[in-house]
Amino acid sequence: MNSELRIKNSELKDDGAGNAVSEKTGEVVIDVRNVKKMFRVYRDRGNTLKERLLFAGRRRYEEHWVLNGISFQVKKGEAVGLVGENGCGKSTTLKMLTRILYPDEGSIQIKGRVSSLIELGAGFHPDLSGRENIYTNASIFGLSRKEIDERLETIIAFSELEEFIDDPVRTYSSGMYMRLAFAVAINVDADILLIDEILAVGDAAFQAKCFRKLQEIKGQGTTIVIVSHAMAQIEQICERSIWIDEGLIRMEGAPRDVHPHYMAWMSQKNSGGESDLKDAEIDAEGHLKRWGSGEARMTAITVIGKDGQEAKEFSPEDPFTIHIEYTAKKELTDAVVGLAVYRGDGALVYGTNTLIDTSSPLTLKGEGSIDLIVDNLPVTNGDYTFDLAIHRPDGFNYDFRRDICTLHIAGRTQTPGEIALPHRWEIR
């Protein structure tokens, strides 16, 4: 099934001590320094003569400072998520990386060809057909006509719009626009891909396909910056999250470290100081240990091998299933369960979630179970941490089951084969 999810083992080198190390160059390709951005919000100067005279001495506009000095760097091949509440300046940041907007202060340096999915259908001409728009859109990203000719069929096939490709795009639904825009943006051989909330559009099956494609192009070394409110998507694609609040970077780090703080803060804010997470257990490092407001929790995790039996060992090439049992005191809709696998140095090497397997979010009710299929796990020698996250798109009822197990894998490069699981996948 998800062969596209595979992150090639060839990307991981052995450092001689049995540890997998990344071949990423460490070259900085996005360098944002002390960027400030202001919008002018024009005032109503009145409609009548009386009003105009009354407001005559008043300044015509107010300065609205959206970004107050943000600095961050992104290295080649890194995937970074920008998170934060509505209006905090995430899209403005992304638009400046695409050069749709420019900073009022500070500097932005970008190395490489940029492709972006910022505003749905921006760059599409409504009266031109899907096919014609592929040409105009891809040429904006720097492709020659010949290069576009070569990619045309791939783009159309990915968009699944064969039937409508010669219709004017004004007749497209927003989902169709998104398919076409995504198909173009990921097929222009960009070095850097910037995406604004695009995975929230389209049906669940297409979202899952885009998500897999993103993991694939990340595996090929493309640098990615994503703006999203879907924390699990960021956790499964990005090594780093940057939380923007009131135009400043409030926190930056591994998504699984940053998101619980962000979610707890949001929850506190939205409940007027009375946190939705007040019953949740948060450990000393600020990670949520228990899901939501105590409404649901995992009760057991087992691994089912390809023979359908509980497995004590697995072979990374073979699919296996993580079987999670849970108890939900209240019904929980729109849940997505995801697995992230981190290498010893903290790099994310694998991610999958139930949306990919089922194409729709789950409803958790009473006592039940969830099966999460893991396929083509890209492991070589070294230590790996398996983390399960359960979330809803609204961000609440959120849990990190951190470090459900750590596997030490030795001798795999010499003798690929079965890997022993720990005796117990502990529920903490």
Ligand X SMILES: Nc1ncnc2c1ncn2[C@@H]1O[C@H](COP(=O)(O)OP(=O)(O)OP(=O)(O)O)[C@@H](O)[C@H]1O
For 29, other C-beta atoms within 10 Å of its C-beta total 19
Residue 77 DSSP code: T
Q: Does 55 help bind ligand X (rule: CB under 6 A)?
A: no
Smallest gap from Cβ 349 to ligand X, in A, equals 29
Q: Does 290 bind ligand X (CB under 6 A)?
A: no
Query: Rule CB under 6 A: is residue 118 a binding residue for ligand X?
Result: no
* Range list of H helices, 127-248: 130-140, 145-159, 174-185, 204-219, 231-237
Dihedral angle of Cα 143, 206, 5, 74, to the nearest 10 degrees: 50
Q: Indicate the residue among 86 and 414 with the shorter CB distance to ligand X.
A: 86
CA–CA gap between residue 285 and residue 53 (Å, rounded)? 59
| Span interacting with ligand X, options 1-9, 82-90, 138-146, 159-167, rule CB under 6 A | 82-90
Q: Binding pattern to ligand X, positions 20-49, x when CB under 6 A?
A: -------------------x-x--------
Strand, helix or coil at 155?
helix
Instruction: Count CA within 13 A, CB hemisphere, residue 291.
Output: 23
Rounded to a whole number of angstroms, the minimum distance from the CB of residue 110 to ligand X is 18
Q: Return the residue of 76, 90, 179, 343 that touches ligand X, per CB under 6 A.
A: 90
Span of 50-58, 83-91, 122-130, 251-259 interacting with ligand X by CB under 6 A: 83-91
The two three-digit tokens of residue 188, written as one number: 């222009």
Among 77, 81, 89, 378, binds ligand X (CB under 6 A): 89
Amino acid at 181: A
Does 91 interact with ligand X (rule: CB under 6 A)?
yes
Q: CA separation (Å) from 83 to 93, 139, 142, 225, 233?
A: 11, 30, 29, 11, 11
Judged by beta carbon, residue 70 or residue 184, the one nearer ligand X is 70
Q: How far is the CB of 34 from ligand X (least distance, A)?
A: 18
Q: Which is nearer to ligand X, 90 or 392 (CB)?
A: 90
Is the separation of the CB atoms in 4 and 216 below 8 Å? yes
The alpha carbon dihedral of 267, 273, 277, 282 has a sign of: positive
Among positions 3, 10, 48, 86, the unique one binding ligand X when judged by CB under 6 A: 86
Judged by CB, which is closer to ligand X: 94, or 355? 94
Cα maximum dimension of the chain: 87
| Residue the block writes with tokens 């749709």 | 100
- Report the site for ligand X in 262-281 (rule: CB under 6 A): none
Among 7, 88, 201, 263, contact with ligand X (rule: CB under 6 A)? 88
Helix (H) or strand (E) holding 32: strand 28-42
Task: Please state the closest distance from residue 178 (CB atom) to ligand X, in A.
Answer: 16
Yes or no: say if 278 and 270 are a contact pair by the CB < 8 Å rule.
no
Applying CB under 6 A, the span of 85-93, 156-164, 182-190, 330-338 interacting with ligand X comes to 85-93
The span from the first CA to the last CA of the chain, in angstroms, equals: 31
Stretch that binds ligand X, among 26-34, 84-92, 138-146, 370-378 (CB under 6 A): 84-92
Which residue in 12, 77, 92, 224 binds ligand X (CB under 6 A)? 92
- Please report whether residue 103 would count as binding ligand X according to CB under 6 A: no
Distances from the Cα of 350 to the Cα of 17, 138, 235, 363, angstroms: 22, 30, 10, 25
Q: How far is CA 188 from the centre of its chain?
A: 20
Alpha carbon distance 122, 341 (integer Å): 36
Query: In terms of CB distance, is 89 or 260 closer to ligand X?
Result: 89
Closer CB to ligand X, 60 or 423, in the complex: 60
Specify the residue, 113 or 250, whose C-beta has the smaller distance to ligand X.
250
Element (H, E) at 49: helix 49-54
Residues in touch with ligand X (CB under 6 A): 39, 41, 64, 66, 84, 86-92
